[in-house]
Amino acid sequence: MKTFTNILPLRNELKDARFSAAREGKSLRIALVPTMGYLHEGHASLLRKARAENDLVVLSIFVNPIQFGPNEDFERYPRDPEKDLALAEREGVDFVFMPSVEEMYPQPTRTHIKVEGLTDVLCGASRPGHFDGVTTVVGKLLHIVQPDRAYFGQKDAQQVAVIAQMVLDLNFDVEMIPCPIVREADGLALSSRNVYLSAEERQAALVLSRNLLAAQAKANTTESRVTAGELLTELRDAIGAEPLAVIDYVEIADFPGLSPLAADERLDAAGRRSDVLIAVAVKFGSTRLIDNVILTKKVND
């Protein structure tokens, strides 16, 4: 495994690898797994899939300042490069790219990628500018690495929708691979931010997965004939009943378009007309957690 902190040597090494493969008449499928580090089993699952499906796996670790708002947790975002490198090694990563802020943004960036519409709702409504920072850095990473495939966790479902739109609109030559949410045994969705939770907050946070998974199960029965309005009320009431939970949003939208569904729109397996995202963002103490389930038009298991 090779580690790079600068763009040029990484680019040169990737060029060499492509050139050597071409000389031998082989194609070289390159995967990029972009992360902000503090890696957990969710990231490991992306790396494993990337490893199984490609010839060369690049992991990027970069806590991207421009996707954090002024009052957000950029400074205290958890970092543990040594542990990250050990996990990367274990998962068979070939190249790790861990640039400094100065390497990625040698001067304040005047060019941003903004995906309109999809970024004003859900997390975009409470984190203005967040997705512009995400698409700008992912655009830069895709230019630097030029991967054939890029792997993203579905826990950030809105991020997946926004980046997929960017890839489509700007003709990035990359296949987006969304990967399922990985949960702890008790249901909590894995997140680097879980480390901020006290034991009491962590216990309270289970209200999210418990109710999201129950909503998914209910919608997936044909008999329920449940509507978006009914499910939304049930979810908001159940999460709101947890004393430590402060709701930012609980929403039901079509996926990946992210438009809210009419209250009378049927969500049951036989009635739904599109893939549907049920997404929540809830604060426990100072920690804002997100979680979601997706109801596919073709019934989920």
Catalytic amino acids? 43
The Cα 194–Cα 288 span in angstroms is: 9
Dihedral (C-alpha) 192, 44, 137, 65: value to the nearest 10 degrees? 20
- 247 CB neighbour count, 10 Å cutoff: 14
Q: Which stretch binds ligand PAF (CB under 6 A): 29-37, 86-94, 97-105, 195-203?
A: 29-37
Question: Which residue lies nearer to ligand PAF by CB, 54 or 135?
Answer: 135
Residues in the interface with ligand PAF (CB under 6 A) total 10
Q: Which stretch binds ligand PAF (CB under 6 A): 31-39, 45-53, 116-124, 286-294?
A: 31-39
CB of 251: closest distance to ligand PAF in angstroms?
Answer: 19
Out of 10, 32, 34, 158, the only residue in the binding site for ligand PAF (CB under 6 A) is 34
Out of 47, 87, 88, 138, the only residue in the binding site for ligand PAF (CB under 6 A) is 138
- The answer to whether 202 touches 188, Cβ cutoff 8 Å, is yes
Residue 194 binds to ligand PAF (criterion: CB under 6 A): no
DSSP, collapsed to helix, strand or coil, labels residue 80 as coil
47 alpha-carbon distance from chain centroid: 14
Residue 36 binds to ligand PAF (criterion: CB under 6 A): yes
Question: Which residue lies nearer to ligand PAF by CB, 134 or 144?
Answer: 134
Q: Which stretch binds ligand PAF (CB under 6 A): 28-36, 110-118, 182-190, 275-283?
A: 28-36
CB of 75: closest distance to ligand PAF in angstroms?
Answer: 16
Out of 45, 67, 220, 227, the only residue in the binding site for ligand PAF (CB under 6 A) is 67
CB of 38: closest distance to ligand PAF in angstroms?
Answer: 9
Helix (H) or strand (E) segment spanning residue 291: strand 287-295
- The answer to whether 253 touches 295, Cβ cutoff 8 Å, is no
Residue type for position 77: Y
The Cα 73–Cα 249 span in angstroms is: 19
Question: Which residue lies nearer to ligand PAF by CB, 191 or 227?
Answer: 191
CB of 137: closest distance to ligand PAF in angstroms?
Answer: 5
Out of 47, 113, 134, 179, the only residue in the binding site for ligand PAF (CB under 6 A) is 134
CB of 133: closest distance to ligand PAF in angstroms?
Answer: 7
Residue ranges of alpha helices (H) inside the chain are 7-23, 41-53, 81-90, 101-104, 123-126, 130-145, 157-169, 199-219, 228-240
CB of 16: closest distance to ligand PAF in angstroms?
Answer: 25
x/- site string to ligand PAF, residues 152 to 191, per CB under 6 A?
----x--x--------------------------------
The Cα 202–Cα 223 span in angstroms is: 34
The Cα 18–Cα 126 span in angstroms is: 42
Question: Residue 13: what are its φ and ψ, rounded to 5°?
Answer: -65, -40
The Cα 177–Cα 30 span in angstroms is: 13
Residue 64 binds to ligand PAF (criterion: CB under 6 A): yes
The Cα 282–Cα 188 span in angstroms is: 13
Residue 45 binds to ligand PAF (criterion: CB under 6 A): no
Query: Is it true that the peptide bond before 256 is cis, omega within 30 degrees of 0?
Result: yes
Which stretches of the chain bind ligand PAF, using CB under 6 A? 34-36, 64, 67, 134, 137-138, 156, 159
